[in-house]
């Protein structure tokens, strides 16, 4: 038996629009039904069995990146300061810039550079 839940429409949306909804701490995709919805209108949708309850950002993969929200909260500055990338950008920004230029195959002036031989 499929569980049906009610979701609050986040705005005036046209039919077919897809948005993320959260019910009981689980996030899943909802498609707006025919006729569209108005902000605040309740939509009845089936509750998916495979809805993800949390987003795991520890793996660093694209699949684990949060969508529709910021990774860190407004007051999570201590978490951000504890990352190596923060300190690299703060203290050794030229090294960080060099790493980015290398990854994008650009030279010191941001122009297309020679492709590396390993690729």
Q: Do residue 74 and residue 106 come from a single domain?
A: yes
Q: What is the pLDDT of residues 42-68, one digit of tens each?
A: 988 887 765 444 444 344 455 556 667
17-26 average pLDDT score: 84
- Inside any domain, residue 55: no
* Selection from 15-24, 31-40, 69-78, 84-93 with the highest mean pLDDT: 31-40
Number of domains in the chain: 2
> Of the given ranges (27-36, 77-86, 88-97, 98-107), which has the lowest mean pLDDT?
77-86
The SS3 of residue 112 is strand
Q: Which two tokens stand for residue 85?
A: 């990338």
- Say if CB 68 and CB 55 are below 8 A apart: no
Measured CA to CA, the distance from residue 6 to residue 99 in angstroms comes to 47
> Of the given ranges (14-28, 29-43, 61-75, 88-102), which has the lowest mean pLDDT?
61-75
- Say if CB 91 and CB 83 are below 8 A apart: no
pTM: 0.40
Length of the chain: 119
- Inside any domain, residue 92: yes
Kindly state the greatest CA–CA separation across the chain.
61
- Inside any domain, residue 102: yes
Q: Do residue 79 and residue 37 come from a single domain?
A: no
Enclosing domain of residue 32: 4-46
Which residues, listed in sequence order, are joined to residue 52 by a DSSP beta bridge?
27
Measured CA to CA, the distance from residue 69 to residue 64 in angstroms comes to 13
- Inside any domain, residue 16: yes
Q: Which two tokens stand for residue 86?
A: 């923060």
């Amino acid at each position: 038996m499929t569980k049906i839940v009610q979701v609050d429409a986040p705005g005036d949306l046209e039919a077919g629009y897809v948005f993320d909804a959260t019910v009981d701490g689980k996030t899943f995709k909802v498609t707006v039904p025919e006729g569209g919805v108005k902000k605040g209108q309740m939509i009845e949708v089936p509750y998916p069995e495979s809805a993800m309850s949390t987003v795991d950002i520890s793996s660093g993969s694209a699949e684990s990146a949060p969508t529709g929200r910021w990774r860190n909260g407004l007051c999570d500055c201590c978490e951000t300061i504890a990352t190596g990338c923060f300190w690299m950008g703060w203290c050794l920004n030229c090294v960080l810039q060099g790493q980015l230029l290398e990854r994008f195959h650009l030279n010191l002036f941001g122009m297309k550079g020679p492709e590396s031989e390993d690729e």
